[in-house]
Amino acid sequence: MNKKNRLTQLLSSLIVLSALSSQPTKAQEVPKLLLYIHLTGVDVDILESYQHYFGDQGINRLIKEGTLFRNADYEYPITHPTQALATLMTGAYPTHHLIGLGTDYKTLLQSKKHRGINTSEKISPEHLTYETVGNVLLDLTQNKSRVYSIAANAQEALITSGSSASGAFWIDDISGLWASSSWYTFFPKSFSNINNGKEALRERIHALKWSGEAPTRFYLPYSREDKETSFSYSFTGGHLYKSFKKTPLVNEEITRFTKKILSDLSQSEKDFPSVVNVIYNLSSFKGSSPLSVYSIEAIDSYFRTDKTIGELLRSAETFFGQENCIVFLSTVPNTSPRTEGSSAPKTIYSFSTQRCQALTNLYLSALYGKADWVLRVTPDALYLDRALIERKGLSLREVQRKAASFVKDFEGVDYTYATRTTEEETQEVIARRLHHLLPRSTNIDVLIGLHYATKLIDQGEQRVSTYPVTIPPAYSWLIATRLGGKGREIRTPVRMVSIASTLSYILRIRPPTQAIGAPIQEILQMSK
């Protein structure tokens, strides 16, 4: 870690400690419940369009009683929602928490020692090296607080929790049971009961149907008029639970379980705060293909999720009391490409990974001697033979720069980025955002960004990212609400890396070790 980052983290900790010491701390100022609602797969422009048709108990209630930041920025292009979830809980970029472009989730979360509970997978967060807000809270309260994460999928639940949470829960793809890992030791009693009896998901799945609840007036003005006005999906076959988890009905199932956990927490240790992370996904799929954000299914996904948020807020208020709840809601940009329209995009350029590899090898051979310097090229990355470069006594950073500069001139290439570039050297906004996205441990040597109108000649190589990396800022929403408070709206940009330090202030604890953002002042002044 460079001196600049160490200084930034030190200042962040000092600001939190200074804020805490500048005024007397009353026990009642620390909430009994910090509920964090994460909305992944969100197109904010679509959310804003639908917002006016939502009821007044869900997202609109949070806005009415809290502070809405319309221009929250993660400061890097998100290619998987877990990158954002880790940033929110650690206050760090993927560069340091290491959940970034190219992360192998299967290897990262695989465990040889810890079995899954209600799942055949051996899975745990033991290899996660970062510290979260929840980890700090549990350490300082000697595990008397409780920190839980509830999501549809294991990746989101485990990565949000970190390695020292009380528990993480998800729905198993095969059995449909709520699952966890034996790594955790503080399970709520509701976890033992949720999979039993007629209320268990596996007992109800065949009777469940996803059909539209959203009024047809939700259509955007420019949507096609020949759309179907109704739909109905049921869940059958060998992958019925996977299909179920790609619909908004899973968000309602998450709420059902979370309400039971809140009930358990309200009856347990009352002198220590609890943190509950709830991850809802708003992306809608038909099979494995993402549906258009303008489809009636997508509209229904937003509408249903808003309703279930309202239900969750009412439960939090009932179990803990309005004055004892602080709720955060943040959105994570949709990483799937928009699919509206059936016409294929016009292609102007072409790009061949094989040709790129061959010509770059020739170029580097002319500079450093004949050899196979490039091992592989994909549509979004180039990999050098690092062992060869080391044997030749060359600088990896220099060879990366030479390769990046050469590939940038290829037809159809929008940008390239040498991954060993330091943050101090990243003067351009694009380079800085890409730098934040890459874990320090990445084996990618050059990132390649293709123009949207570029056709791939050879389709054999798999992308590092499922979809092309989108560089321009995709602003998100952040809402911080003390239930019963007074609403206001902030349009100036806010950094998502500042959330961990802000949560730390609210809980009266130090920020996580890698947190680099200062607490958000507008939230510190939040009305009670």
Mean pLDDT across 470-491:
89
Whether residue 341 has pLDDT greater than 80:
no
Q: Would you state the pLDDT for residue 347?
A: 75
List pLDDT tens digits, range 123-180: 999 999 999 999 999 999 999 999 999 999 999 999 999 999 999 999 999 999 999 9
Average pLDDT of every residue of the chain: 89
Domains 43-73+104-319+472-494+507-525 and 349-464 share a fold: no
Which two three-digit tokens encode residue 34? Answer: 């910090």
349-464: CATH architecture: 2-Layer Sandwich (3.30)
Q: Alpha-carbon distance 265 to 262, whole Å?
A: 5
Nearest to 212 by CA among 296, 306, 309, 311: 296
Amino acid 459: pLDDT: 72
Q: Is the pLDDT of residue 470 over 50?
A: yes
Give the three-class secondary structure for 404: helix
Q: Where are the domains of the chain?
A: 43-73+104-319+472-494+507-525, 349-464
pLDDT at 465 over 90: no
DSSP reduced 3-state for 86: helix
Q: What is the pLDDT of residue 528?
A: 46
Amino acid at 321: G
Give how far Cα 340 sits from Cα of 53, 257, 408, Å. Answer: 22, 34, 31
The model's pLDDT over 172-215, given as tens digits with 9 standing for 90+, comes to 999 999 999 999 988 999 998 999 988 899 999 999 999 887 66
Give the architecture (CATH level 2) of 43-73+104-319+472-494+507-525.
Answer: 3-Layer(aba) Sandwich (3.40)
Q: How far is CA 113 from CA 110, 127, 157, 177, 512, in A?
A: 9, 12, 19, 22, 27
> How many CB atoms are located within 10 Å of the residue 29 CB?
11
Q: Which two tokens stand for residue 407?
A: 């590939």
Range from 54-58, 124-128, 418-422 carrying the lowest mean pLDDT: 418-422
Q: Identify the band that residue 527 occupies on the pLDDT scale cut at 50, 70 and 90.
A: very low
Reply yes or no on whether the pLDDT at 462 is more than 90: no
Which residue matches tokens 């943190």? 275
pLDDT at residue 205, rounded to an integer: 96
Q: Does 3 score more than 90 pLDDT?
A: no
Distance CA(20)–CA(521), nearest Å, equals 13
pLDDT for position 228: 56
For residue 433, the tally of other CB atoms under 10 A from its CB is: 21
Residue 113 CA to its chain's centroid (Å)? 27
Closest Cα to residue 359, out of 243, 451, 351? 351
pLDDT tier at 25, thresholds 50, 70, 90 = very low
Of the candidates 403, 347, 349, the one whose C-alpha atom is nearest the C-alpha of residue 377 is 403
Angle CA(93)–CA(97)–CA(70) in degrees, nearest 5? 35
